[in-house]
Structure 1
Amino acid sequence: MEQTTIFLSQATAKAYTEGILSEIKLEIVKDEKDGGNKVEGYITIKTDDINYTTYNITAKATTKAGKPNKSYENLVAFMERAHSIAEVGEEEATKVRVNGQVNPWTSFNQMGAKTHKVGYKTGFVSIISELKDPRSIFEVECFVQSVDDEFDKETQVPTGRAILHTLLPIYNNGIEPLDIVVPQEYAMACKQLFTQPGCQSAHIVGNIGNTKEEKKTTVEYQIGGAVTKTQTKNVNELILTHAGTMEQQYELETIQRAIAEYDLVLESKKKRAMESNKAGGNKTVGGTTIGASAAAGHRNFGF
């Protein structure tokens, strides 16, 4: 099939979750810009015994046209009716369904250290009577920069999985880096597909994995014997289940311009964060959109 070229525009970046409301932290506050009310906070949804997905939420009471905002009305009603596992236990907790967005972002602390994370956001939550298919999934259209083997961070031994380093087109001709994990059974196929000329624009579907990983370390003491310490960290992964190339390909020159522009944005945000530190501030400058090339040593295709 003949492929055509498309220019950069906001891409599909869908997130969907069905499960039990584990935690709810929503409140009505005053908007600092216009003084009106808005709902903001987050909810966390349990989809199985180990997976939990958190959605950040913000919705103003009125639209830009000054009309009542249906998202705000939905969330206010949801706040009145919803009960979390933390409040009433799992049996009585509210069952929910959310259609939201994948939301990668980059921030800097006062020392200029960069943090890149993937979050999820929504402005609408549905209460359902029963769970039909509890799960958390995503669907994105993106530009594949490189496909690399995954290595264990401690042992540096290959895990068998691969990592798709992609760029997610967003609003205002922007981009955000987005890494997607490829299971071992699909790793070779992804390498073969996305390294072909004209096959860098991808349509990917998969599971959202948000789990807690525990690491136990035992230290021997001369006096008192051994002590075992447990460290827990959250692991947030987008795990590919289906992938293919888009019929329309992103225009390569536009991607390259977006990378250059957002490298400049990145430097500006970093500078602001460090200047805040010098001025005695105590905050993280976040929400940065950035398009950076893959790290040194990665294979880049098309650049």
Structure 2
Amino acid sequence: MADILSLVFRTFTSPAGLKKQLPVRPPPPAAGSSLLLGDPDLSRSMLLLAAVTAASELGMRVVFFTQTQIQSLPVSLQRCVPNLSPESLKKIKFSYPRTLEELLLQVASLHESTNTCPTPPSLIIVDRLEGFLCGAGGSNHSGSHPAQLSCAAHLSALLCDTAAFLTQVLEQRGSNSGPCRFIVSFLSEVDTGQGSKDPSGTDPLLDVLDRYFQVRCTLDRDRGYGAAAAGVQEAWHVYLSGRGITQASFTKGCEEKLAVAQEWQLFIYPDGLMEFNLV
């Protein structure tokens, strides 16, 4: 489910919103996988916010895979979490595989790391999946290429298997930070305007990924007058969808319903502060 992302949204709501009414609590104990779709820069900021929230609020160990070196935390993250402790950052391990093959090897090696690591990771993050898939079957992101479809399925299946294995290890060791979840960001061809050749307007790669991910989290920029009038630099709609949302919607109680809310609004202010509001 989108439990980690939902926790992020609830943690960083506006002062007049849910933050005053509801305490920040750990997400429900259900394994989950989320696919974050949309603007790559904002997606990275949200992935980093998810990593920091999981490490600082829940004490989770996080593995963050990305091709691009992270020299410093984004301004938005520094504004949202100004008092982030070094101990929390130590719980996040950044890895920089250059190719899809290296990413597959590093994800697979998480099985072996349980022999030496007292606490396995509870959250696996992959930033900008499309960058890893570019080298599969061609130099461009072309989701119709069979090799890319196969590689996307291979990596997704490996993530599912790894998360299930680490969940079992966490349970055996009596850890209260399990189960293991994973979040992957992806820029679809439809969002880049390269998917126009397909009459249906869909990305074949996205169809493959949807088989493995329980929840889609879609970022859609709001360019309307209302956003400009609100005095914000950027406004975004954040939509949650997928079978994970459907399954969770049967839960009862106010907090559970809020945790699986299907639409949020994100405001990014000129100073970099990010705020979420339930729609």
TM-score by length of 2: 0.24
TM-score, length-scaled by structure 1? 0.23
Structure with higher Rg: it is 1
The structure where strand makes up a greater share of residues is 1
If each structure's helix is expressed as a fraction of its own residues, which one has the higher value? 2
Higher relative contact order (CA 8 A, sep 6+): 2
